[in-house]
Structure 1
Amino acid sequence: MIRNAMSVDVEDWFQVQAFAGVIDRADWDRLAPRVVANTDHVLDLFAGAGVRATFFTLGWVAERHPSLIRRILAGGHELASHGYGHERVDVIGSDAFRADIRRAKRVLEDTGGREILGYRAPTFSIGPGITPWAHRVLAEEGYRYSSSVFPIRHDLYGSPDAPRGPHRPWPDGVVELPMTTLRSFGRNLPCAGGGWFRLLPYALFRTALRRVNATEPHPGIFYFHPWEVDPGQPRMHAAPRLSRFRHYTGLASMAPRVDRLLRDFSWGRLDDVHAAAIGTPPSLAARAA
């Protein structure tokens, strides 16, 4: 059975892009955090299925919840960077991006005591046409890979013309491990998790990922967020209707769906599953655990 890569984007419910227009980041510290309990729930799901994953974690979260970072590592998972403050890369520009990923790397490494190799941009806000400097900056700041490009067309993100498999966008930049898509009828269809996984019938998603595994030369990558397993989170009624629909639909069924997915496929950490593309020894994950 092909082993796919499982990943989690660790951010709290009030840090999501869907609420960026109605929740001021200056208020984050005054809002009730739920990321610890939700991530612990995710860790329990992985432990029950014997799965190790990659946790792309905000430096902001790591600073405030260092014991959570230690529990992630104690479970044998890879700790990676989601940036520090969950700011869109295509909005903040190269200088602020450098400062953000440098700060996040320092916080995560100081907290976890492990080298941080991987990065995932908030809202997949990296792409060849919008941030041609990003992969080079990541390499200069000591990262080894990015998993930030989604080769689809979407109103909030996406680079539909980007390569669908591991590639190095720039010779002096890090390798990119793009989010999984299924090529069908001349289009790239999302097959990587997130809101699409909550909105579509489970059987349809399972069939699509099985087809990817049967036809593509590279493993798939799946992602979700801790807040997606939390149906009891606060409701932001001031957010736009479409944002509320995307954010809240399917929350109650997400945990059992993820648990089913963990058992229907084989999963591993990104740094292990994609070790050849990244250029790290396959045994790195075993040594880190």
Structure 2
Amino acid sequence: MNDIGAHAIGQPAKGAIRNAMTIDVEDYFQVSAFAPTIARDQWENIPCRVERNMERILAILAERDVKATFFTLGWIAERYPQVVRDIVAGGHELASHGYAHLRASDQTPEQFRDDITRSKAVLEDIGGCAVLGYRAPSFSIGHANLWALDTLAEAGYRYSSSIYPVVHDHYGMPDAPRFPFYPNGEGGLLEVPITTVRIRGRNLPAGGGGYFRFFPYALSRWLMARVNRDDGKPGIFYLHPWEIDPEQPRQTGISFKTRFRHYINLERTESRLKALTRDFAWDRMDRIFL
């Protein structure tokens, strides 16, 4: 095999490192980049597409018997409880993405505590299971609000996946550890950063999202394989349900950069996700890291 991995494409090698498959359950109009043009008080009036997209993602994962972690908005859970029940029934991990997709960096400590506590309670009530994990919208925990990790621990969360060690105009903590670490010492809250590859002194994004749609699939596969092979570590991949939905309504009044980032290669994401489930071994966050 060449440098994209030591196994045949389409079949993980026996004993391959298990990577974490994660889905951030939110709808297309809830992304942070649309916040300046779509007010939260209008969400109730916008047709949701999350149910059909989640059905498709769950079916794709079931085809390969892949178990994943679903970081789910409390707002979505309250309105579409069957989505939560389907996640749990499929053997996946139910985790929190906050209640209202508010960036952690835009909230006071009190607001953040209320948001993560409300979300946890809603998800646990509907799902009938403990919620141990949290991911901040837009990876919005960094140097300026590391207090949020303490608040998560106090609220009963066991781990967070809220830090992306890259340079980005909307998020990022490039000097953070690349692999799971305890911010306040062993036994406290575990932070599981999104996957990066270290090349020439710089962290390159390798964990999915918009980069998964922008990069050729062969590059995304190579980056994940490199982390498994050279670092000997599990990777963390993430995706949103709206990223497999090229027919979603197009927004107006947004910048070219926002339009490009949100809509590029939506029509290719589903087939790439299927390839990813064939090319690597996957599991839930809690089973890999806790």
Q: Normalization by structure 1: what TM-score?
A: 0.93
The one-letter amino acid paired with 1:267 is W
Q: Which amino acid aligns with 1:236?
A: Q
Task: Determine the structure 2 residue equivalent to 1:104.
Answer: 119
In structure 1, the residue matched to 2:50 is: 35
> 2: CA distance between counterparts of 1:159 and 1:132?
11
Partner SS, residue 282 of structure 2 = strand
Partner of 1:241: 256
Match of 2:245 in 1: 230
Secondary structure of residue in 2 paired with 1:37: helix
Q: Residue in 1 aligned with 2:210?
A: 195
Give, in whole Å, the separation in 2 of the partners of 1:204 and 1:192: 12
**Alignment match of 1:131 (pick from 140, 145, 151):** 145
Distance 2:141 2:70 in 1: 19
Secondary structure class of the residue paired with 2:108? helix
TM-fit CA distance, 1:170: 1.9
Q: Aligned partners of 1:132 and 1:170: how far apart in 2? A: 10
Helix, strand or coil for the counterpart of 1:156?
Answer: coil
One-letter code aligned to 2:128: G
Contact 2:74 2:122 in 1 (8 A): yes
Counterpart secondary structure, 1:130? helix
Match of 1:207 in 2: 222
The answer to whether 1:82 aligns with 2:94 is no
Aligned residue among 67, 73, 77 for 2:82: 67
Alignment match, 2:11: none
Instruction: Using the TM superposition, name which of 169-178 and 152-161 deviates more.
Output: 169-178
Q: What's 1:91 paired with? A: 106
Q: Distance in 1 between matches of 2:258 and 2:114?
A: 29
Equivalenced residues, count:
274
Note the C-alpha offset of 1:218: 2.4
Contact 2:78 2:122 in 1 (8 A): yes
Shift of residue 132, structure 1, vs aligned partner: 1.9
1:45 aligns with one of 44, 54, 60:
60
State the 1:173 CA deviation: 4.6
CA distance in 1, matches of 2:146, 2:237: 25
Q: Taking structure 2 as the reference length, what is the TM-score of the superposition?
A: 0.93
Which of 137, 141, 151 is 1:122 aligned to?
137
Give the equivalent residue in structure 2 for 1:56. 71
Please state if 1:149 is matched with 2:163.
yes
CA contact (8 A) 1:18 1:244 kept: no
Unmatched 5+ residue regions in structure 2? 1-15
8 Å contact kept, 2:17–2:233: no
- 1:162 pairs with one of 173, 176, 193: 176
Aligned with residue 220 of structure 1, among 232, 235, 242: 235
Unaligned 5+ segments in structure 1 are: 276-289
CA deviation map 1:163-190 (0-9, x unaligned): 1111011238511000000000100000
Instruction: Say which SS state the counterpart of residue 107 (structure 2) adopts.
Output: helix
**Correspondence for 1:251:** 266
Deviations 1:181-205 (A, max 9, x none): 0000100000000000000011111
Check whether the contact 2:95–2:134 (CA below 8 A) recurs between aligned residues: yes
Percent identity, please: 54
Superposed CA RMSD? 0.9
Q: Distance in 1 between matches of 2:197 and 2:108?
A: 31
| Cross-structure match for 2:7 | none
Separation (CA, whole Å) in 2 of partners of 1:169 and 1:217: 22
CA distance in 2, matches of 1:271, 1:135: 17
For 2:282, which of 254, 267, 270 is the aligned residue?
A: 267
Looking at structure 2, the residues matched to 158 and 92 of structure 1 have their Cα atoms a distance apart, in angstroms, of: 17
